[in-house]
Structure 1
Amino acid sequence: MSSLPTVILVHGAWHTPPNYKSYADALRIQGFKVHCPHLPTCSGTSPPTASLADDVAHVQKIVQSTVEAGEHVLMIMHSYGGGCWDRGCRRRAAGLAGGVIHLLYLCAYILAPGSTIWEIVQEAGFDKLWDLYIDTAPDGSTAIKDPGLGFFSGNADQAVIDKALRTLVRFPSSVFYEKTTGSAWQTVPTTYISTLKDYAVPKSYQDIMLAKVRSQGAEVKVEEYDADHSLFITMQSDMVRTALKAAVDERNSI
């Protein structure tokens, strides 16, 4: 590949694009063009009105316009963002330029078709602890009760944590029960970054999901990091290097 692909960076639940600004800027310094769309579910609207389907459609629209412009795309998906893009977009077989060449999941939900986030929570046995850590308001919105603990492992500078937490919003509880529809990981080369100190998408969740998608024939390259859920902040340099590796992965089809 003669140049780096365009990155479409899909943020997580409760997050907004400003939370990823430092990471996006670091990717741009390396030569990536970066788009970080604002997911409709993370608008802070009360009561919440957007759904997982709205997020998928929003991301798909940006992916489609990017590849139709002939650009190659590296999808980088963090946390809930992993469930917000579910289609393959490989155009070479049709003689078309552009396409999604790689999926990079950062401690993200990688879900089999027809499954939900809540099913993973239940299978890991965390459903009984949900209300201890998640605040669900009467309007159907949620927030992590202690986001500093939920997203960071304690080794981040407090000023960095405080800045990150100011960009968070409430998130619709209904999304956790919505079924996914696609399986882009079956047709697009995939790398999964697994995090050992993750309190938002614990390692047990990650292992369950990876086992499920592998049982459906997915070939996923897994890299483990002794990192927390906000590794795009706390291990930013490593995650930039990971993106560079994914961009030139020998499995990529361009």
Structure 2
Amino acid sequence: MESTSRPSLLILHGAFHIPESYIKFTKALRTAGFEVHLPRLPSMNGSRPPNADLTTDSELVRSYATSLVEAGRDIAVLMHSYGGQVGTNSLYGLSKTARSAKGLPGGISHLIYMSAFALPEGKSMINKVEEFGHLDLIPVSFGIDSDQSCVTNYPREGLVDGPSDQVDPEEIKGFIETIGRWNGKSMYMPIHNTPAWRDEVKVYYMYTLNDISLPIEYQRSMVQFIENEGKTVETVEFESNHALTLLVTERVVDTVVKFTLQ
């Protein structure tokens, strides 16, 4: 398939991450012939006290995606971690199928969750943690300040350590240096719009089997719920911790190529 016929990619980054956290990944995607968009979510703007949250992030992503599809682009959305909560909350109604039915070009054709939150209406990220009885791990995993901004206490252990492809130690060092402070209020905020996965789009999920930050049982439970709602979800498994775009970059890119050919 020629690169010009591939969809443009809209990447939604995770909590504590910024676009620079994905430099290795976006470079590999562009080398593979994709146009890549990766906006910085406002909840990672570093403001103290925080002045942006899930709602703000969702508004930005909705506006960004709308501009792309109104320009006639076909879009595959790649969501990592908290980025899945943002995309799920903000993108319903922009599908290529819905726009085509109105005689309009462009639209979202693929939703690709990469170890990401794919929740239903009314559910927050913390609800998933509570479902598995892990609320006691929140203060261990995160340093939460009085203004509710937070950092991840163990970025290397929680995101990177474990089986991976050969990764340059300098790449790991550079990645960890990008991990910053996020508005922790967002993890308590539920999906309040129709979830994007309910739209007429193809849905995919990349499982990370060695994930410390988003355990595999959380991931499987979210996919099972979506499938129980009548959607087909194509899945693939990676022997990787949470930072799959750093740890198994080429395999993830190959999978994006495969998914977007469908």
Normalising to structure 2: TM-score of the pair? 0.91
Q: AA paired with 1:130? A: I
Equivalent residue, structure 2, for 1:81: 83
1:54 correspondence with 2:33: no
Equivalent residue, structure 2, for 1:252: none
For the Cα contact (< 8 Å) 2:78–2:112, is it kept in 1? yes
- The offset of 1:72, in angstroms, is 0.3
For the Cα contact (< 8 Å) 2:162–2:210, is it kept in 1? no
| 1:1-254 map, 5 Å | 3-86=5-88, 87-90=92-95, 91-155=99-163, 156-180=167-191, 181-187=193-199, 188-249=201-262
- Give per-residue Cα distances to partners, 1:77-118, cap 9 Å, x unaligned: 101001112313121111111110101110000011111000
Q: AA paired with 2:237? A: E
Paired residues, number: 249
Q: Unmatched 5+ residue regions in structure 2?
A: none
- The offset of 1:39, in angstroms, is 0.1
- The offset of 1:214, in angstroms, is 2.1
- The offset of 1:212, in angstroms, is 2.1
For the Cα contact (< 8 Å) 1:186–1:217, is it kept in 2? no
- Give per-residue Cα distances to partners, 1:145-169, cap 9 Å, x unaligned: 1110010124554322211111111
Q: AA paired with 2:39? A: P
For the Cα contact (< 8 Å) 2:162–2:240, is it kept in 1? no
Q: Secondary structure at the match of 1:41?
A: helix
Shifted more, 22-31 versus 154-163: the winner is 154-163
Normalising to structure 1: TM-score of the pair? 0.94
**In structure 2, what is the Cα distance between the partners aligned to 1:56 and 1:43?**
14
For the Cα contact (< 8 Å) 1:186–1:219, is it kept in 2? no
**In structure 2, what is the Cα distance between the partners aligned to 1:16 and 1:131?**
23
CA RMSD across the alignment: 1.4
Shifted more, 33-42 versus 221-230: the winner is 221-230
Shifted more, 134-143 versus 35-44: the winner is 134-143
